[in-house]
Structure 1
């Protein structure tokens, strides 16, 4: 029972962590090297990783998507998609795909004359399933060692854990005040019933013993 409990809570918090890791904004210091547009097939279940800016695209199996190619300071390549989120989840309310595409083109640079920018994005990158993080903002930075403090993430996580803590404290109080006394009464009732059953079995054995002596 304890093992099942730990598996349940472990899975629950793992899903919560994955949700926040996918949804909350992340910041990459990169050098943009290229932008392009490509038609992408929208898989059955991988469709959830692509934005759906309008109702018409819900019935499409593929569509044109803008991409931004970049290189990290360590030389590792990274590719972002550039799609509006509109009023849908996650709530970035991104409507400026065209503007961001222009900013990305204006921020292109070479290895010999690099221009470093901070790309704010959400989502994951998976090469096997062709999943790309969605870029939501581009900001110039001084260099590859620039530090971006994720204030939005800090505030959201603090509020979330404060909410969880408040619920947990109230649950403990409710349990001590309402549930534990009931369970104790049930335990006392079961114990008393067991004592009565034991007493009856004792009397029955003594009655049988009295017949054996005769």
Structure 2
């Protein structure tokens, strides 16, 4: 049972970590190289795209006209964002300005000779094998490639989640101390009482059986001509 609890705890921890890693906003300093729209097949990876009623209308072939933003990081590695509205659906970024963001990204395009660096806030993962892209939420210009603005939104969300977790843990401990522990002690005492009564009953049965056997043995001895044990 101990190992089952450990495994379940590890799986729960991994699930929570992956959930937060995907849903929390992240900031990356990048240089925008291109912006465009592309008909994209939405199939088994649909959970990593905006809901159909908030994103671009999907055609009969399961394709959606999605905006993309191509960027380059300071280390030279490329990174591609999608640019979709989120609406009121998960995750709750309430984004409705993907057209404005696309125009802003287009205005900030630059080349390596005259770079313009921007900090892009987004969420999600980039998994090329499954055509999964992070969704850009906003961007703002920064001074240079070394600029690394603090990720205040993620920090505040984690702080609030930590406070809620601490509150729930405290409430659970109080509930356990006031309700579960006393009930467990009462059940344990009742079980001990039952065990004690059972042991006493077994002792009485054993004693009566011994007395009955000795009495029967004495009675048989009288038939054999032996004097009966005065006990």
Aligned residues: 213
Task: Tell me the equivalent position of 1:47.
Answer: 46
Residues 18-47 of structure 1, C-alpha deviation per residue, up to 9 Å, x if partnerless? 222211111011111112221111113x21
Kindly report which structure 2 residues correspond to 1:110-125, keeping only aligned pairs within 5 A, or say none: 110-125=111-126
3-state SS of paired residue (1:84): coil
* Corresponding residue of 1:94: 95
Q: TM-score, normalised by structure 2?
A: 0.85
Matches within 5 A, 1:143-182: 143-182=144-183
Contact 1:40/1:65 (8 A) holds in 2: yes
Question: What RMSD in Å do the two structures reach over aligned CA positions?
Answer: 1.9
Taking the aligned partners of 2:8 and 2:117, their CA distance within structure 1 comes to 44
Mapped to 2, the partners of 1:123 and 1:164 lie a distance apart of 24
Q: Which secondary structure does the structure 1 equivalent of 2:206 belong to?
A: helix
Mapped pair 1:29 → 2:33: no
Change (3 A) 1:194 1:79: same
Question: Aligned pair in 2 of structure 1 residues 137, 172: CA closer, same or farther (>3 Å)?
Answer: same
Contact conserved, 1:52 with 1:58, CA < 8 A, in 2? no
Query: Structure 1-normalised TM-score?
Result: 0.91
Whole-Å separation in 2 of the counterparts to 1:210 and 1:128:
84
- Is the partner of 2:81 in helix, strand or coil? strand
For the pair shown, which has the larger CA radius of gyration, 1 or 2?
A: 2
Task: Find the counterpart in structure 1 of residue 5 from structure 2.
Answer: 5
Deviations 1:74-94 (A, max 9, x none): 111110001111222212221
CA contact (8 A) 2:58 2:65 kept: no
Return 5+ residue gaps in structure 1 as ranges.
none
Tell me the distance in 2 between the aligned counterparts of 1:107 and 1:38.
20
Following TM superposition, the consecutive aligned residue runs of length 4 or more in structure 1 with deviations greater than 6 angstroms are: none
Distance 1:104 1:6 in 2: 47
Quote the Cα distance in structure 2 between the aligned partners of 1:106 and 1:53: 28
